[in-house]
A and B are shown apart, each in its own frame.
Chain A
């Protein structure tokens, strides 16, 4: 394997911090998780290098609202739902790209799938291979679930 520069935990943490800061102007830091999640709408992308990682972004409503309002600079109530989804999908796309760059490094090749909106953790991700990482963005807890193939 070509990746050994940083651990998956560090790559995820840095990718989350960078993307929240640079794209949504929010600070997001790792925190202990409250437990189960992933039962509602989630955003999913595959990052494929010499192994495949499914990133599942699991955001509560208030976190979605903060991210989208900061990026689009428009009150939540005035943003059509398709634009909210597009915004969060692009957000995950950038996060996935940052993760790939940080985890595998600039010299390695990796690819991103098209990000998707799903309901619940996708069935194709093996529960046994799923790990959840929690973050805190100004008191709003959210999870990034990672399934590895």
Chain B
């Protein structure tokens, strides 16, 4: 492992502080390299963060107040500067229609909650 590697920055978007904490811990356990986090409680706050900071990966919930995850993903993918950012959607809801819509928007991966280090490790190799 390259000890001098710059920490990769993950934006975690979820209205539950518990869910953000679980996601953080899973990344810390699953990631081989240094990693740091920024967090937002909804899509609108996440977009504000993305105006000011660059991130390497976005992990977002779907069911959130103010701006839901689907709208947030759409806005990211419509933004030329952000469209190539890998996005993992983490949601307690799972159905093929939603997954198909998210795939159409270019979402990298979909994980049904609860996330675990093992689930994350399966997908984390490519985007992180």
**Residue positions of A touching B, CB distance < 8 A:** 19, 22-23, 71-72, 83, 86-87, 89-91, 93-94, 96-98, 100-101, 104, 106-112, 114
B114 within 8 A of A: yes
A94 to B114, CA, bound (A): 7
**Residue positions of B touching A, CB distance < 8 A:** 16-19, 21-22, 63, 65, 91-98, 112-114, 116
Number of A-B contacts (CB under 8 A): 57
A72 to B61, CA, bound (A): 19
Contact between chains at A114 and B63 (CB < 8 Å): yes
- CB-CB < 8 A to B92: which residues of A? 93-94, 96-98, 112
The 4 closest A-B pairs by CB, nearest first: A97-B92, A90-B16, A23-B114, A87-B18
A22 to B63, CA, bound (A): 21
Shortest beta-carbon distance from A59 to chain B in Å: 15
Q: A22-B116, A111-B93 are in contact. Are A83 and B18 (CB under 8 A)?
A: yes
Residue from the set A22, A83, A89, A90 with the largest chain B CB neighbour count within 10 Å? A90
A90 to B92, CA, bound (A): 9
A19 contact from B16, B18, B22, B114, Cβ within 8 A: B114
Shortest beta-carbon distance from B101 to chain A in Å: 11
- CB-CB < 8 A to A112: which residues of B? 63, 92-93
Q: Mind listing 5 A-B residue pairs with CB under 8 Å?
A: A86-B18, A94-B92, A97-B92, A98-B92, A112-B93
A97 to B91, CA, bound (A): 8
A112 to B64, CA, bound (A): 11
Contact between chains at A114 and B65 (CB < 8 Å): yes
- CB-CB < 8 A to B95: which residues of A? 101, 104, 106-110
A124 to B5, CA, bound (A): 55
Contact between chains at A94 and B113 (CB < 8 Å): yes
A22 contact from B16, B65, B96, B114, Cβ within 8 A: B114
Contact between chains at B98 and A109 (CB < 8 Å): yes
Contact between chains at B18 and A97 (CB < 8 Å): no
Residue from the set B65, B93, B98, B112 with the largest chain A CB neighbour count within 10 Å? B93
